[in-house]
Amino acid sequence: MAGVSGCLKYSMFIFNFLFWLCGTVILGIAIWIRVSKDGNEILSSGNSDINPFVAVNILIAVGAIIMVLGFLGCCGAVKESRCMLLLFFIGLLVILLLQVAAGILGATSQPETKRILNETLYENVKLLSQTGDNGKVFREAMTEFQKKFECCGLVNGAADWGNNFESISQSCACEHSSSACVTYRGKSVYKEICLSLIKESVEKHIIIVIGIAFGLAVIEILGLVFSMVLYCQIGNK
């Protein structure tokens, strides 16, 4: 009977360790996005019934599952356990198929995603000119966003703030060249609106997610091949 290849065995361990690390990174990033104060408030403070964090919650679940699968793959390789390797193979195959399906769905629904983002942000514009506790957290988040990204308002610039402009004018204050500034109520404010910057930031994050997904898919395919070859070798030992 042929023995188990030591090179294949430890290659399987290394790849699954990398796979486990990928799961850890995905879980960590997803949790960070989920609890991020500014991102949470900007995207979920409106009255829209759509929950923009559904995808993030799914990533948290996927990251946790990948960590478990990576653990099974590592232990299955080191202990030469066919049961663990089979569980790893089945779980990894399901994840890969779901990932492919999600990618196809995401590509076909991209216009709809942009529409939902637009609706959410346009709905939140109303909160900028309101007073009291309604929308207070969102207004505070927008104030910090304006300072950081040098923009003012969401859709119509400083006018979006209505009577609240005087209290937040410092976050919109523009001290750059005249081309980057406009005058509103006697004060120099940023010409750039925050809506375009938010969209740009979301698009950049989508590209990063796609890149991570492709890299993860390569590791998943290698894991499937190594696990099945090792599973067969253990059975023939």
pLDDT in tens, 107-159: 676 676 677 777 777 777 888 888 877 778 888 888 888 888 888 988 888 88
Question: Coil, strand or helix: which one is 64?
Answer: helix
Q: Residue 35's pLDDT is what?
A: 75
Q: Is residue 226 part of a domain?
A: yes
Residues 219 and 157 in one domain: no
Tell me which residue of 127, 156, 131 sits closest to 142, measured CA to CA.
Answer: 127
Q: How many residues does the chain have?
A: 237
- 165 located within any domain: yes
Give the mean pLDDT of 193-198: 84
Range of the domain at 35: 6-113+204-236
Residues 92 and 23 in one domain: yes
pTM over cut 0.75: no
Tell me if residue 184 falls in helix, strand or coil: strand
Write down the residue that tokens 């998943």 correspond to.
220
Closest alpha carbon to 135 in 166, 170, 160? 160
- Same domain, yes or no, for 104 and 144? no
Q: How far apart are CA 77 and CA 16, in angstroms?
A: 9
Q: Is residue 156 part of a domain?
A: yes
Backbone φ and ψ for 173, nearest 5 degrees, come out as: -60, 125
User: How many domains does the structure of the chain reveal?
Assistant: 2
